[in-house]
Amino acid sequence: MDFFTDELYGPNDFTQRDEDIKKVLPLMEKVLSKETLATFELALKLNTLSYQLDFELVNNLGDVKDISNDQYAQAYRSCNNLEQRKLQLELIDMLGNNLAGIAHRRSIMLVLKLSRKPAKLAGLEELQAILERGANAFRKIKKIDDFIKPILQGETVIMQSLFSGKNCLPEKFTMN
């Protein structure tokens, strides 16, 4: 779980990672399988959608530092993007399953290990490290559904509650 909250959706600056992805995308298209490329495309689509949803929510919150659960719930509802939120959860489910299948292939781990030196020479060490940490995180998950389904179910309950006007959030959020 730490990998997902820290590396993929944490309060970090992902600018360098995203720039590195742009650099290697042409090469990836030449060497990766269609299935792996489709998974990578799915990850980019989810990343873009998540940024859009977060940006819209933050805009609706304004400059508030200490956010009450009612303010957050109102801002969430005012985005009026239930279908996009549902799509986000569908993409998370699809991506999780795809990545779990890819990470358990021995060939992927071998490719990652063989890529270390070329990545270093190309200045892509951080991207390489993220890919390796991600693959290792997914390899530790025995059954992806045991990991991802409770998260998706919890997020679905929160989403449906918020859009129906019910508030199921903690008392106070603090935005740093």
Long-range contact set of residues 73-77: C-beta below 8 Å, sequence gap at least 24: 73/162, 73/167, 73/169, 76/162, 76/163, 77/162, 77/163, 77/165
Written as one letter, the residue type at 20 is D
**Residue 21 banded pLDDT, cuts 50, 70, 90:** confident
Q: Taking 50 as the threshold, does the pLDDT of residue 139 lie above it? A: yes
Q: Average pLDDT, stretch 99-115?
A: 84
Q: In terms of pLDDT, which residue wins out, 6 or 84?
A: 84
Range with the poorest average pLDDT among 2-6, 138-142, 146-150, 152-156? 2-6
Task: Kindly report the number of other CB atoms within 10 A of residue 20's CB atom.
Answer: 21
Q: Taking 90 as the threshold, does the pLDDT of residue 83 lie above it? A: yes
User: In this predicted model, what pLDDT tens digit does every residue of 53-79 receive, in sequence order?
Assistant: 999 999 999 887 788 888 889 999 999
Distance CA 92, CA 21 (A): 20
144's CB contacts (< 8 A; 6+ apart) are 96, 97, 100, 138
- Specify the pLDDT at position 28: 75
Nearest Cα residue to 35 out of 137, 87, 92, 105: 105
Supply the angle between the helices 69-78 and 34-61 in degrees, to the nearest 10. 120
Across all residues in the chain, what is the average pLDDT?
Answer: 84
* Residues β-bridged to residue 172: 68
**Residue 129 banded pLDDT, cuts 50, 70, 90:** confident
Q: Taking 50 as the threshold, does the pLDDT of residue 95 lie above it? A: yes
Q: Taking 50 as the threshold, does the pLDDT of residue 176 lie above it? A: no
Q: Domain residues of the chain, as ranges?
A: 2-45+82-159
SS (H, E, C) 8-71: HCCCCCCHHHHHHHHHHHHHHHHHCCHHHHHHHHHHHHHHHHHHHHHHHHHHHHCCCCEEEHHH
Please give the radius of gyration of the chain, using alpha carbons only, rounded to the nearest integer: 18
Q: In terms of pLDDT, which residue wins out, 11 or 176?
A: 11
Range with the poorest average pLDDT among 85-89, 91-95, 103-107? 103-107
